[in-house]
């Protein structure tokens, strides 16, 4: 008769072992930075203190010619050449990237010198842009 409490205990524990399928997975929080305040130029991988942007020359697209961008980027680091990679994202009128994984390009920024980074939209639907810069890999 001692087996009855063990069977009863096992029966009660069995439902607890099953995965609860009624709960949703954890959700991401809401970004406190509004989309219209997101920076046009992102300096990733610790580059923020060493890069400054002095402007971007934007040539809007037409029905036959895609948008193009030339961004003036300067290194503020005195010690050595900064080797970086950069890529442009071009966005359609709804803010959706036209190409979700554009190719990275390489650039070398001599100390205290300015370079010009160029990007060309893949088609004529581009209405906005973003530039990402990271340390070269």
Fold of domain 39-135: Immunoglobulin-like (2.60.40)
Domain ranges of the chain: 39-135
Report which of 112, 129, 113, 132 is spatially closest to residue 67, judged by C-alpha positions.
Answer: 129
Q: What is the pLDDT along the chain (137 residues), one digit of tens a residue?
A: 555 655 555 555 555 556 667 788 888 888 888 777 778 999 999 999 999 998 899 999 999 999 999 999 999 999 999 999 999 999 999 999 999 899 999 999 999 999 999 999 999 999 999 999 999 98
Q: Model pTM?
A: 0.76
pLDDT value for 132 = 97
Residue 61 has, within 13 A of its CA and on its CB side, a CA count of 20
């Amino acid at each position: 008769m001692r087996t009855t409490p063990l069977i009863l205990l096992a029966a009660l524990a069995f439902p607890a072992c099953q995965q609860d399928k009624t709960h949703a997975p954890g959700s991401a929080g809401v970004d406190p930075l509004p989309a219209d305040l997101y920076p046009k130029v992102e300096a990733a991988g610790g580059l923020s203190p060493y890069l400054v942007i002095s402007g971007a020359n934007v040539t809007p697209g037409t029905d036959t010619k895609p948008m193009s961008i030339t961004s003036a980027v300067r290194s503020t680091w005195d010690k050595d050449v900064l080797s970086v990679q950069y890529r442009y994202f071009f966005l359609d009128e709804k803010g959706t990237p036209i190409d979700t994984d554009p190719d990275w390009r390489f650039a070398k920024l001599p100390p205290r010198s300015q370079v010009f980074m160029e990007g060309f939209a893949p088609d004529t639907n581009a209405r906005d842009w973003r530039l990402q810069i990271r340390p070269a890999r």
